[in-house]
Amino acid sequence: MAGSLNKVQLIGRLGADPEIKQMVNGKSVARLSIATSQTWKDKSSGERKEKTEWHRVVIFNEGLVSVVQQYVKKGANVYVEGQLSTRKWKDEATGQDKYSTEVVLQGYNSSLTMLDSRNSGNNSNLVSENKSSLPNDNLSQDNADLDDEIPF
């Protein structure tokens, strides 16, 4: 094998408000719980079925932590891109090893995008208040320029 790839892409909704904590080095970390669902029609009964998976997401990127802290709330629809990481620790009560697999966002290979509409009545991520800095705000004006003749 020439190389390897560890990349996760999720689109889902937050099951709770983000948890922001300070690490011992003074930097902040955000923890999210994101639900993704798949639906299908049961072949035998014909009824609609749904399965929800819960994903732990940990954000170390300070810029993303700041955005999450200000704008992302329970119920927000988000796209995250990061990598899987499994950590191990000892349970203090039982002394047994415990494991947790998480989607980690850190460095330049990670992203978080808020997918909720700016014009919906839902202010769960306050994107509508930051309208001027978002791309495609003048999309309707730009479309008028497309009516010019194409030179080739």
Domains and CATH numbers, the chain: 8-145 (2.40.50.140)
pLDDT in tens, the chain (152 residues): 578 999 999 999 999 999 999 999 999 999 999 999 999 999 999 999 999 999 999 999 988 999 999 999 999 999 999 999 999 989 999 999 999 999 999 988 899 999 987 544 444 333 322 222 333 333 333 444 444 454 44
Residue (of 59, 71, 62) closest to 26 by Cα position: 62
Pairing of strands 28-41, 19-22: antiparallel
pLDDT at 89: 87
pLDDT at 1: 57
pLDDT at 10: 97
pLDDT at 145: 43
